[in-house]
Chain A
Amino acid sequence: DVKVTQSSRYLVKRTGEKVFLECVQDMDHENMFWYRQDPGLGLRLIYFSYDVKMKEKGDIPEGYSVSREKKERFSLILESASTNQTSMYLCASTPGTGTNYGYTFGSGTRLTVV
């Protein structure tokens, strides 16, 4: 089975801090995604990547950036954390281009910004 691993299950950060969320997948998947999940809003796409060093903005990229230096690793960066970025962050991957594959999600990182 594909495994998507997120480095932290819970994080507490202060306003203004730079925050790194790490995600690693072990099945050579091409595509990786970062979502945030908030009650009543479902999953909203922040950024995604089709290949190493490639990135595309999702629906809510403001306040975030990403890095994909290696195929298996996709990092989400909060340049200056704010309280409205308190959320559950989910990383996902799929093997090919397009949406014809089910997403495999990591266990999530619950980030609290105080």
Chain B
Amino acid sequence: GQQVMQIPQYQHVQEGEDFTTYCNSSTTLSNIQWYKQRPGGHPVFLIQLVKSGEVKKQKRLTFQFGEAKKNSSLHITATQTTDVGTYFCAGSSNDYKLSFGAGTTVTVRA
């Protein structure tokens, strides 16, 4: 079945630094979504990418969908303590159901 792999599993970042988390699929995706889960909270939808090569920005967050629609990335610039949490990607290859990655858990050193 479809698998979505996410790396790294953990990311320890110095406040003010940038980092990137990556998402890779074994199959071509029709779309990809990103979610953020704060510690003790539930996943919250951030964004959806649909087009090959699509890039979307939300303030300091930049989301990219690969040309082959099999990978995606989330890049955060100038990390802040409010960025702490787990970031999940979720992809669909059949517009039927989403498969979630295992998530990247981000901690920030002040």
**Residue among A44, A99, A102, A108 facing the most chain B CB atoms (10 A cut-off):** A99
> Are B9 and A40 interface neighbours, CB within 8 A?
yes
Residue of A40, A90, A103 touching B98 (CB-CB under 8 A): A103
Smallest Cβ-Cβ distance to B91: which chain A residue? A99
Chain B residues with a Cβ closer than 8 Å to the other chain, count:
26
Supposing A59-B1, A102-B33 touch, asked if A43 and B42 sit within 8 A by C-beta, the answer is: no
Write out the residue numbers on chain B whose beta carbons fall within 8 Å of the beta carbon of A48: 97
Whether the pair B97, A100 counts as a contact (CB closer than 8 A) is no
A50-96 contacts to B (CB < 8 Å): 58-59, 90
Tell me which of B42, B48, B92, B100 has the highest count of chain A C-beta atoms within 10 A of its own C-beta.
B42
Residue of A41, A44, A99, A104 near B92 (CB, 8 A) is A99
